Structure 1
Amino acid sequence: MGSSNTRFRMTGQDIVKECDGNSEVKNLHILVTGATSGIGIETGRILALAGANVYLVGRSETKLNEVRENISKEIQKQSSTGTVQGAICDLNSLASIKQFAEKFIRDKSPLNILILNAGILNFNFAQTVDGLEQVMGVNHIGHAYLTQLLMPALIANAPSRIVIVSSQVHVGSPLNYQALEHMSSTADNAKKGWGMISSYQQSKLANLLFARAIASRYKDKQVTAYSLHPGVIDTNLTSSIPLSRLLTILYKKKTPEQGAATTVYCALKPGLENETGRYFNDSTVTHLADKWTDEDINTLWEWTEKVIRERTTNL
Structure 2
Amino acid sequence: MTLDLASLRSVREFAEAFKARKLPLHILVCNAAVCTQPWSLTEDGLESTFQICHLGHFHLVQLLQDVLRHSAPARVVVVSSESHRFTDLVDTCGKVDLNLLSPPQKEYWSMLAYNRAKLCNILFSNELHRRMSPFGVTCNALHPGNMMYTSIHRSWWLMTLLFTFARPFTKSMQQGAATTVYCAVAPELEGIGGMYFNNCFRCLPSPQAQDTTAALSLWELSERLIQERSTPPSGALTL
TM-score after normalising by structure 2: 0.86
The 3-state SS of whatever aligns with 1:108 is coil
1:152–1:178 Cα change, 3 Å: closer
Matched, 1:314 2:218: no
Identity of paired residues, percent? 38
| Deviates further, 167-176 or 220-229 | 167-176
CA drift at 1:124: 1.0
Match of 2:149 in 1: 234
1:229 and 1:96 map into 2 onto residues whose CA distance is 27
User: How far apart are residue 242 of structure 1 and its match?
Assistant: 3.0
Question: Which structure 2 residues correspond to residues 153-302 of structure 1 after superposition, within 5 A?
Answer: 153-176=67-90, 177-180=97-100, 183=103, 190-232=104-146, 233-243=148-158, 252-273=169-190, 275-288=192-205, 292-302=210-220
Contact 1:161 1:267 in 2 (8 A): yes
Whether the 8 Å contact between 2:78 and 2:125 is mirrored in structure 1 is: yes
CA distance in 2, matches of 1:244, 1:257: 21
Taking structure 1 as the reference length, the TM-score comes to: 0.66
Quickly say closer, same or farther: Cα 1:235–1:259, change in 2 above 3 A: same
Whichever residue aligns with residue 302 of structure 1, its letter is E
Q: Of 58, 65, 77, which residue of structure 2 is paired with 1:151?
A: 65
Deviation of 1:94 after TM superposition, in Å, equals 0.7
How far apart in 1 are the matches of 2:184 and 2:159?
35
Q: CA deviation at 1:277?
A: 1.1
Unaligned 5+ residue runs, structure 1? 1-86, 184-189
- Correspondence for 2:54 among 140, 144, 148: 140
Letter in 2 for 1:164: V
Letter in 2 for 1:179: N
1:161 aligned counterpart, secondary structure: strand
Please report how far the alpha carbon of residue 239 of structure 1 lies from its aligned counterpart in structure 2 after TM superposition. 2.3
SS of 2:105's equivalent?
coil
Q: Which stretch shows the higher mean deviation, 89-98 or 273-282? A: 273-282
CA–CA distance in structure 2, aligned partners of residues 289 and 277 of structure 1: 14
CA displacement at 1:129 relative to structure 2: 1.5
Root-mean-square deviation (CA), in Å? Answer: 2.2
Cα distance in 2 for partners of 1:107, 1:289 equals 39
> How many residues matched?
222
Structure with more strand by fraction: 1
